């Protein structure tokens, strides 16, 4: 089964991803093929350059072809993207100070990216 995760609640990335999902992915025991992860609000901070969780996730995502995307508006608000709010949702906001491989976008970009390798289930944490 293919899954995509949406990290939308407080501490979803620092706890559920960092303490549960990521260790399972590292050991190849997660039980599902993860095809994508979308990060909202303060969950973006784990993807800053130098963050151990983000650096590990970046490496695993590259190896396993996992989409990593952050909300464009959330990233601009946190200084992790360059661009203007009027361009949110259009796909032309650029990442800043994020680990390698992270894309910045909104739902249109998420849907387009996942259409190449669609999940069977989307899980919001």
**Confidence band for 41, pLDDT divided at 50, 70 and 90:** very high
DSSP 64-122: HT-EEEEEHHHHHHTTSEES-GGGTTTT-PEE-SB-TTEEEE-HHHHHHHHHTS--SEE
pLDDT for the residue 50 = 98
Q: What is the pLDDT of residue 76?
A: 97
Position 98 confidence tier, pLDDT thresholds 50, 70, 90:
very high
58-74: b or e for each residue (b if 16 or more CB lie within 10 Å)?
beebeeeebbbbbbbbb
Secondary structure (3-state) at 6: strand
> Angle at the Cα of 78 (from 70 to 15), degrees rounded to 5?
60
pTM: 0.96
């Amino acid at each position: 089964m293919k899954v995509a995760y949406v990290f939308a609640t407080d501490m979803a990335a620092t706890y559920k991803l960092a303490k549960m999902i990521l260790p399972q992915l590292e050991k190849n025991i997660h039980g599902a093929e993860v095809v994508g992860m979308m990060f909202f609000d303060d969950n973006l901070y784990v993807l800053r350059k130098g963050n151990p969780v983000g650096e590990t996730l970046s490496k695993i995502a590259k190896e396993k072809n996992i989409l990593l995307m952050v909300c464009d508006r959330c990233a601009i608000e946190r200084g992790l993207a360059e661009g203007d709010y009027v361009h949110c949702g259009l796909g032309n906001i650029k990442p800043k100070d994020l680990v390698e491989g992270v894309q910045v976008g909104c739902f249109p970009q998420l849907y387009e990216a996942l259409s190449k390798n669609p999940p069977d289930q989307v899980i919001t944490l």
